[in-house]
Structure 1
Amino acid sequence: MTYGLSDKIRSRIRPQDDWNLRRCPHRVNPRRSSTRSPYLQLLRRTAADRAAFKEASIPLKGIEMGNLLRTSLLILLLAEATTLPAQQAGAPVTIRAAQVINGRGGVQRNVVVTVRGSKIERVAAAAGKVSYDLGSMTLLPGFIDTHVHIGWHFDTNDRWVDGGEAPDQAALYGAENAYVTLMAGFTTVQSVGAPSDKPLRDAIARGVLPGPRILTSLDQMADARLTPQQLREYVRKKKSEGADLIKIFASLSIREGGTPTLSQEQLDAACGEARVQGLRAMIHAQSAESMIRAARARCTAVEHGVLATEEALTVLAQNGVWFDPNIGLNFPNYFEYKPRFVGLGNYTEESRW
């Protein structure tokens, strides 16, 4: 079952699309469905239709969970990500549910959740009149995905698009991905990152497009030739452009052994300047050495780390650096497709992955 989509839309999505949506919502290929995507259809509707959809899309209704919760329903409390009209933002909304999964490892029963604007104010025992009574349903806060590329997509020929596309088409795909991601239950995502993330982020924040709250790096710094001073300037530039964080490549691909690409001095400069500017620094690091350098630079987080060692993980912990591993995604992917793609580009036998 596709989370959050109406029966009408759900019936138009083939089983393989449904699985892709649940597994990786921001990479689903809507062109594989039997009809055009629901979001592109939405863009063609009249203003009145869009306003009606906007109100109806506040997902305060049950979503079947299949094998996980056959007898209960999941309700997504979309707080900041929902497109509530501005005039309603100051008024509290109260929601009663039979069960609330509070996100802290507990389940509370027969309670009322009070939401004001973008904040969940309190969860208390049920009493009095409420805005929404969900009966026997279960209420759950929206999910957060810390690493997405909200604009990535396939074209009409089922090929991944990496530039060269008309801006209007790219914008439509980004808006479509945002809608699908929200309907999959993700109310905040961190997109790392592309310049096109900014107008999409801002449109969602204004309430004119349905989608999750987006935090974006606006770019990915992959130029290993930059000096420490140039890296500091890069961080300041991204800050002035409105970036929410900095994304830096500190190693090659795992297909190339994850060799470090930035020196300790370079990472010290980049992550140090990010702290000065009040920005988080996310580091793409595949090898143990690149992870250790990022940790010693006290960067905020290390992504991937497929070739991590016990030493690298220990140094991360000692320096208070977050680790966002993707081992369960990368290894099966490369093992599965290696026979098909080995010999193309940097996909070599020596890479081992």
Structure 2
Amino acid sequence: MIRIARLALAASVFAVGTAAATEPVALQCGRLFDARAGRMLDAHTVVVRDGRIERVESGRVDVPGARAVDLSGHSCSPGWTDLHVHLGSQSSPQSYSEGFRLDPVDYAFRSVGYARKTLMAGFTSVRDLGGEVSPHLRDAINQGLVVGPRIWAAGKSIATTGGHADPSNGVNDALSHLMGPPGPTEGVINSPEDARQAVRQRYKEGSDVIKITATGGVLSYARSGDAPQFTEDEIKAVVSTARDYGYKVAAHAHGEEGMRRAVAAGVDTIEHGTYMSDEVMALMKRNGTWYVPTIHAGRFVADKAKIDGYFPEVVRPKAERIGALIQDTAARAYRNGVKIAFGTDMGVGPHGDNAREFVYMVEAGIPAAVALQSATVRAAEVLGVDDQGVIEAGKRADIVAMPGNPVEDINAVLAVDFVMKDGAIHAAPGA
């Protein structure tokens, strides 16, 4: 079925914006966001050639032989990165039953549209933290077969038996007996030895990053949303094996103890972090651990929990209780000096709405410029790359633009109408 999913992705071809223009392009920006300094500059011209930024000049400059793009009424920013998405799915009241009715090919076709919406919202890169479709979607995008953001794909998340991301949760006894107990190949572990095998399996399948579910989760078909679900030794085995392959490790975590174990074991990012205590924050600061809040997902599930029938009854109280707390946790983490990077958990909420996370971050007391940095230069640090996240000579030509000034009014991020990825223009004002 995975082979069919690959064919589905290959069949979903978009003709526009799949290659960088061979002629140079001069973007005449009314304002330009300096991601390193965290400030908005006045008018600049960005010259792009062969997918890279050739030079950046102050003011509106005419470049002989270059195609001029008038963005004089716009603010230009490095393309944004969402560090937590799930492009293979999107929440709905049917999500739980669809897992029994749909094939990988169905999710593959859906992911094509989700990827395009994400790119058009201004997100030129994403980290997909869990989903078997995502490595194949990544490859299809890299081959120019479909339009979407650059993807760092985790593939199957690693869980413990009965934990968040155990694929057999909610399955009845007869079907569970037929399937057999999932193991490291399916991303379910119960020992350090299993943990090493599961990481190596993700390497075999072509993952770019490792994702573990260090605590219970909101949307899994299980009672606990915050209990620790790995021993510290198991997480250490994940991390040490991941390092052998050059992987970073992201840890889904809501509960305090599961977070503490994950941070102590050396994970790179904590996702969600709902019940993060001052002690955990201090440990994260000592270890240099990043926090990816995903406020959008928290608000989305808390809102949907109010609707009868949207979630199964085992999920509904978790969504109502945990989801509403994440924005406040992000506010406390920022005040405490924890390193924050941008992520939405989109796929829980609707793809293409990613930029609303900026608005929620600012509502939490995070300055607009800091929020923008979290999705540009800081996100590049999390990914471990130095060729994106800033508008500078030699970097990838990933550039987005919007009317207005998002440093002064963060709501401007919701109106992106220019998107360039690797020098290819995917959206432009009036197009």
TM-score for the superposition, normalised by structure 1: 0.69
Structure 1 distance, partners of 2:253, 2:121, is: 28
Please say if residues 94 and 113 of structure 1, whose CA atoms lie closer than 8 Å, have aligned partners that are also in contact: yes
Structure 2 distance, partners of 1:84, 1:352, is: 46
2:193 maps to what in 1? 229
Please say if residues 27 and 71 of structure 2, whose CA atoms lie closer than 8 Å, have aligned partners that are also in contact: no
Deviation digits for residues 191-237 of structure 1 (CA, Å, limit 9, x no counterpart):
11212112211111111211111111011111244211221121122
In 2 relative to 1, CA 163–245 (structure 1 residues): closer, same or farther, beyond 3 Å? farther
Query: Offset of 1:243 from its aligned partner?
Result: 0.7
Deviation digits for residues 50-93 of structure 1 (CA, Å, limit 9, x no counterpart):
53xx0xxx4xxxxxxxxxxxxxxxxxxxxxxxx215xx46x643
**Alignment counterpart, residue 133 of structure 1, candidates 50, 69, 78:** 69
Deviation digits for residues 281-324 of structure 1 (CA, Å, limit 9, x no counterpart):
01011111111111111111111111111111111111111111
The correspondence of residues 232-251 of structure 1 with structure 2, limited to 5 A, is 232-251=196-215
Query: Offset of 1:136 from its aligned partner?
Result: 1.8
Please say if residues 250 and 268 of structure 2, whose CA atoms lie closer than 8 Å, have aligned partners that are also in contact: yes
In 2 relative to 1, CA 352–209 (structure 1 residues): closer, same or farther, beyond 3 Å? closer
Structure 2 counterpart of 1:263, which letter?
T
Number of equivalent positions: 274
Query: Offset of 1:347 from its aligned partner?
Result: 4.0
Deviation digits for residues 5-25 of structure 1 (CA, Å, limit 9, x no counterpart):
xxxxxxxxxxxxxxxxxxxxx
**Alignment counterpart, residue 252 of structure 2, candidates 256, 271, 284:** 284
1:253 aligns with 2:240: no
Structure 1 residue matching 2:210: 3-state secondary structure? strand
1:209 aligns with 2:146: yes
Please say if residues 343 and 349 of structure 1, whose CA atoms lie closer than 8 Å, have aligned partners that are also in contact: no
Structure 1 counterpart of 2:25, which letter?
V
Q: Which has the higher contact order (CA 8 A, sep 6+)?
A: 2
1:102 maps to what in 2? 34
Please say if residues 256 and 351 of structure 1, whose CA atoms lie closer than 8 Å, have aligned partners that are also in contact: no
1:114 maps to what in 2? 47
Query: Offset of 1:336 from its aligned partner?
Result: 5.7
Query: Offset of 1:107 from its aligned partner?
Result: 2.6
Structure 2 distance, partners of 1:308, 1:195, is: 29
1:344 aligns with 2:313: yes
Query: Any stretches of 5+ residues in structure 2 without a counterpart?
Result: 1-7, 162-188, 323-431
2:156 maps to what in 1? 219
Structure 2 counterpart of 1:287, which letter?
G
Structure 1 counterpart of 2:26, which letter?
T
Structure 2 distance, partners of 1:348, 1:98, is: 48
Please say if residues 148 and 190 of structure 1, whose CA atoms lie closer than 8 Å, have aligned partners that are also in contact: yes
The correspondence of residues 49-64 of structure 1 with structure 2, limited to 5 A, is 51=15, 54=16, 58=17
The correspondence of residues 1-353 of structure 1 with structure 2, limited to 5 A, is 51=15, 54=16, 58=17, 83-84=18-19, 88=21, 92-104=24-36, 105-125=38-58, 126-129=61-64, 130-134=66-70, 136-138=72-74, 139-153=76-90, 159-160=94-95, 161-224=98-161, 225-253=189-217, 256-327=224-295, 329-330=297-298, 333-334=301-302, 337-338=305-306, 340=308, 344-348=313-317, 352-353=321-322
In 2 relative to 1, CA 280–121 (structure 1 residues): closer, same or farther, beyond 3 Å? farther
Please say if residues 198 and 216 of structure 1, whose CA atoms lie closer than 8 Å, have aligned partners that are also in contact: yes
Structure 1: which 4+ aligned runs deviate by more than 6 Å?
none
Structure 2 counterpart of 1:334, which letter?
A
Please say if residues 306 and 326 of structure 1, whose CA atoms lie closer than 8 Å, have aligned partners that are also in contact: no
In 2 relative to 1, CA 97–257 (structure 1 residues): closer, same or farther, beyond 3 Å? closer
Structure 2 distance, partners of 1:293, 1:142, is: 34
Structure 1 residue matching 2:99: 3-state secondary structure? coil
Structure 2 distance, partners of 1:190, 1:281, is: 12
Please say if residues 95 and 113 of structure 1, whose CA atoms lie closer than 8 Å, have aligned partners that are also in contact: yes
Structure 1 distance, partners of 2:29, 2:319, is: 55
- Between stretches 211-220 and 136-145, larger displacement belongs to 136-145
Structure 2 residue matching 1:292: 3-state secondary structure? helix
Structure 2 counterpart of 1:320, which letter?
G
Please say if residues 257 and 351 of structure 1, whose CA atoms lie closer than 8 Å, have aligned partners that are also in contact: no
Structure 2 distance, partners of 1:170, 1:141, is: 30
In 2 relative to 1, CA 118–229 (structure 1 residues): closer, same or farther, beyond 3 Å? farther
TM-score for the superposition, normalised by structure 2: 0.57
Deviation digits for residues 105-160 of structure 1 (CA, Å, limit 9, x no counterpart):
223333221334443343223353232231523222222111010011368xx622
In 2 relative to 1, CA 328–194 (structure 1 residues): closer, same or farther, beyond 3 Å? closer
Please say if residues 306 and 327 of structure 1, whose CA atoms lie closer than 8 Å, have aligned partners that are also in contact: no
Structure 1 counterpart of 2:159, which letter?
A
Structure 2 counterpart of 1:142, which letter?
G
Query: Any stretches of 5+ residues in structure 1 without a counterpart?
Result: 1-39, 59-82
- Between stretches 231-240 and 173-182, larger displacement belongs to 231-240
1:67 maps to what in 2? none
